A and B are shown apart, each in its own frame.
Chain A
Amino acid sequence: MEEREQEVQVRSGFSKKAFWTSLASGFLLLGLLLVSFGISGVACAVPIAGVGDFYVKFDQLEGTGYTFYPKLGETSSSDSSPQGTNLIKDVTIKNLQLYKDFKVGGDTIRVLITASKPVRITGLHHDAGLIQANAKFQNLTLKENNSSNWQKQFEQTSSKITLENAKLKTHYLFQETINMAGMKLTVEKIK
């Protein structure tokens, strides 16, 4: 009887080999997909969501047709978390870095996507909980609207936006088109 119990415990145990194989193959497939985008230069309608909050960093962003309004959205830890939606019509980003940290056992693994050349995006939809940057706006307007929908009561618009040395805690990202030349994906262990 004791032997049987032991046998059952052994079978239900964590298989490191299977875990690392599936994780590695997953990243390999994701890498191949992203590299194919990198080679072709253009990806269309790319949503990045469902991986919880991740960070977007860059040296400079220049965009036209900017709109901001508040919203409640899903994050990796909550179904309804306060966020801000940023819509930008045309964007050029220099030195873009997207990263997400995963806790695996006692270690922290960072999946990092970088672009060595300027990234061009059209139809950017970006939901963020926090934006830190040096910002410049042209024709900046902050206004209230008489609406029963709380999301429409306040909006910030600008014909041109420039963000420098920015870090954005991001929950959702969508682009109508993206041109990400010089893309690189790395998975590394960090402290």
Chain B
Amino acid sequence: MMIKRLTNKLLMGIIIFHILALSLLPPFTFTEVKAAADSPGFIIQADWVVGKNMTPSIVFTETSGSDKTPMLRVHYEEAVIYGMKLTKQFSTPSGPVSLTLKADGPVRMSGMTVDTSSLSFKGACLRATENIPDAGLEDVTMVVHYMNAGGSNIEQLSLQTVDGNQGPAKPKKTQILVDLALLPYTQALKEVEKISSGKKPLVCDEPVADEGDVKPGEPKASIPDELSREDLVPGEEVIEDRVGKVTDPVTKVIDPATGVIEPVTGITDPITDPVKDIVKPVEKVIKPVTKPVKKVLKPVTKPVKKIVKPVTKPVKEVVKPVEEKLKPVTAPVKHALSESCKRVKDTKGKITKDLGLDLIDQALKEGKTLPELCKGDASLTRALEDFEDGLTDILGLDFIFKALGQDEEAKLKRMKETLKNQKDNFIISL
């Protein structure tokens, strides 16, 4: 009996110990494991990225592990990428799988936007919202979560999916983004505003401390480290084309001259014949104009005969006064149109990108389809049906929509995402 009681107590003790031990485990342990396995982001490597009008900024982007993560957004008007390689790793039930996209030829992109959480390169210093007209980055490695390009031309593309983890090690996460990720979202947004207005350096190829005197995209080699432009006295200039480092020093000494040159002995004879006058004077000059120009344009002598005749007869019939007065409105208006519906009514058959996005937002907010937004008005409902069909067709989404089935919310989100990427002057004609 005693042994049974002791055994029961021992078992209870073991169970309580395990419960306590489990409760003491940090709650984020499992999340970390998941995040590590998912390995968000795809790595893009490039030997060189040369582009026009590069503008960096900070945004919040969806990743495979989070809805809103602070990212460094780099936008190029045009860019050419040399030696590009993209790698994405997946954790699948059958083990790790890697997707690699490689271009052996140059990759030409127009209107390229890249959202990155980690970035390393050589050749420039990126400051928030500051445009770099001609940017050249070398040895670029970045962890990208979103990439978009209006037009892209990839020469010698090779797209492959293989077993195992492939690709390089990810670069260290950009410090400014790590700091922002620790802040609550609203506070992070305020910080981003501050960073953007102050044009603070976001990421550089060298420590920020050396940054002060170097302008973005400017080659640093042109100014010595110990001398800045501000140190120069007025009138002084920095010599841009300086002699570089001596790479191949002269080692052999030229043989010294040993033989003495003999003195000149023969004297040159004096000049006896002076130089004769060779230049001949100009004999004939252009003769002066003596005869006046005879015929110029004839003056207008005859008056214009026919002019417009003056109005003699007064206008007989004027507009008749309105005889019948409008009847007072007795029936109340059944459906008040929303602001977006009124805007659709005013569009005259052309829906702009902004209006389209507003309509999709409203539909998402109210949990409706687009045609249901203006349900009270048959013509507007038809117009919205046409808008939905036109947009789906133009954006090439109908095939994807088939795969999404009846998930209207997912369709609207996809439609919004695709419409967002269109040009600002994008118009759907109904």
Chain A residues within 8 Å of B, Cβ to Cβ: 64-68, 70, 72, 80-84, 87-89, 123, 128-147, 150, 153-154, 157, 159-160
A134:B42 contact, CB within 8 angstroms: no
> What residues on A are CB-neighbors of B163 within 8 Å?
81-82
- For the complex of A and B, the 6 pairs showing the least CB-CB separation, nearest first, are A65-B396, A89-B399, A82-B161, A153-B64, A131-B159, A142-B147
- Specify which chain A residues have a CB less than 8 angstroms from the CB of B151 in the assembled complex: 136-138, 140
Q: What is the CA–CA distance of A154 and B91 in the complex, to the nearest angstrom?
A: 12
Contacts of A131 in B (CB 8 A): 157-160
Q: Quick check: is B12 within 8 A (CB to CB) of the other chain? A: no
A159 touches B92 (CB 8 A): no
Give every chain A residue within 8 A of B145 (Cβ-Cβ). 143-144
Asked if B154 and A145 make an inter-chain contact with CB atoms under 8 angstroms apart, the answer reads no
Q: In the complex, what residues of A have CB within 8 A of residue B422's CB?
A: 139
Asked if residues A70 and B90 are in contact (CB atoms below 8 Å), the reply is yes
Evaluate whether A123 and B67 lie within 8 angstroms (CB atoms) in the complex, with A72-B97, A82-B161, A130-B160 already known.
Answer: no
**What is the total number of residues of chain B having a CB less than 8 Å from a CB of chain A?**
51
Residue in A closest to B37 when the chains form the complex, CB atoms: A150
In the bound complex, do residue A143 and residue B146 qualify as a contact, i.e. CB atoms below 8 Å apart? yes
B118 to chain A, nearest CB (A): 14
Rounded to whole Å, the gap between the CB of B61 and the closest CB of chain A is 8
Q: Which of A132, A147, A154 contacts B99 (CB 8 A)?
A: A154
Q: Closest approach, in angstroms, between the C-beta of B173 and any C-beta of chain A?
A: 16
Q: Which of B98, B148, B162, B396 contacts A64 (CB 8 A)?
A: B396
Contact residues of B: prevailing secondary structure: strand
A137 and B62: CB pair below 8 A? no
Known contacts A81-B163, A136-B153, A154-B42, then 17 further A-B pairs from the complex at CB < 8 Å, ordered by chain A residue:
A65-B399, A87-B403, A88-B399, A89-B398, A128-B159, A132-B158, A134-B156, A135-B153, A136-B152, A139-B421, A139-B422, A142-B86, A142-B144, A142-B148, A144-B146, A146-B65, A153-B38
Q: Which residue of B lies closest to A160 (CB)?
A: B396
* Cβ contacts under 8 Å, B92 to chain A: 72, 82, 150
A–B Cβ pairs within 8 angstroms, 17 of them: A70-B90, A72-B92, A82-B92, A131-B159, A132-B158, A137-B149, A138-B151, A139-B421, A141-B146, A141-B421, A142-B147, A143-B147, A144-B64, A144-B146, A147-B64, A153-B90, A154-B90
Q: How far is B146's CA from A147's CA once the two chains are assembled, in angstroms?
A: 15
Answer whether residue B94 sits at the interface, using C-beta atoms and an 8 A cutoff: yes
Give which listed residue, A80, A87, A142, A144, contacts B400 with CB less than 8 A.
A87
B337 part of interface (Cβ distance < 8 Å): no
Contact B148 A123 (CB under 8 A): no
B-side contacts of A134, CB under 8 Å: 105, 154-157
Give Cα A83 to B162, complex, Å.
Answer: 8
User: With a CB–CB cut-off of 8 A, which chain A residues contact B66?
Assistant: 146
Q: Is the CB of B63 within 8 A of A144?
A: yes
CB of B395 within 8 A of chain A? yes
Residues of the B chain whose Cβ atoms lie less than 8 Å from the Cβ of A70: 88, 90, 97, 99, 161
Given A130-B160, A144-B146, verify A137-B42 contact (CB < 8 Å).
no
Residues facing A in B357-415 (CB within 8 A) are: 395-400, 403
Residues of B within 8 A of A89 (CB): 396, 398-399
Residues of A within 8 A of B198 (CB): none
B41 at the interface (CB under 8 A from A): yes
Q: With both chains docked as a complex, state the minimum distance between the C-beta of B349 and any C-beta of chain A, in angstroms.
A: 23
B123 located at the interface, meaning its Cβ lies under 8 Å from any Cβ of chain A in the complex: no
Residues on B with beta carbons closer than 8 Å to the beta carbon of A135? 152-154, 157
- The contact string, 1 if C-beta is below 8 Å from chain A, for chain B 76-97, is 0000000000101011101001
Name A154's closest neighbour in chain B (CB-CB): B88
Which residues 139-180 of B sit at the A interface, judged by CB distance below 8 A? 144-163
C-alpha gap A157/B396 in the complex (Å): 10
| Chain B residues whose C-beta falls within 8 Å of the C-beta of A141 in the assembled complex | 146-148, 417, 421
- Per-residue 0/1 for B30-44: is the Cβ within 8 Å of any A Cβ (1 yes, 0 no)? 000000001011100
